[in-house]
Amino acid sequence: MNRNILAYLFVMSLVSFIIRVLPVTLIRRQIKNRFIRSLLFYLPYATLAVMTFPAILSISENPLCGAAAFAASLLTAWFTKNLFLSAIFGCAAAFLTALLI
């Protein structure tokens, strides 16, 4: 069983590594194409937004906890632009909501 798990871990790690390093090592020129540059500009915002919502609603059985965290982090990020505060207030909102319901 143990050896089996190590084999799985090797497969997982190898695939993860290849996916991560292939583009960044193969693409060396600056991409001039306006569409591609625009695409790459918007990409992180789309990816991170898609990954955040509605996944944040699933942190607890009750979606209200995640909704409270979402609202708290949105407001904190908008007004403070601070990564750490945004995370802390999100956690605090989720915790307080969980206590109240």
Partner 1 sequence: MEKNKKISPFVKGLRDGLPIGAGYFAVAFGLGIAAQQTGMTPLQGFIMSFFNHASAGEYAGIAAIRSGAAYLETAMLILIANARYLLMSTALSQKLSPNLSLFHRLLIGFSITDELFGIGIAYPGFLDPFYMYGTFLTTTPLWASGTAIGITAGNILPDIVVRSLSAAIYGMFIAVIIPPCRTNRNITIVVLVSFALSWLMSVIPAFASISEGFRIIILTLIISSLAAFFMPLPEEEVTTA
**Smallest distance, partner 1 to C-beta of residue 65, A:** 7
CB of 27 to partner 1, least distance (A): 4
Q: Are 62 and 98 in contact (CB under 8 A)?
A: yes
Does residue 98 bind partner 1 (CB under 8 A)? Answer: yes
List of residues 6+ apart from 90 with CB closer than 8 A:
69, 70, 72, 73, 76
Q: Smallest distance from the beta carbon of 79 to partner 1, in angstroms?
A: 9
Which positions from 3 through 42 interact with partner 1, judged by CB under 8 A? 5-9, 11-17, 19-32, 34-42
Q: 94 and 59 in contact (C-beta within 8 Å)?
A: yes
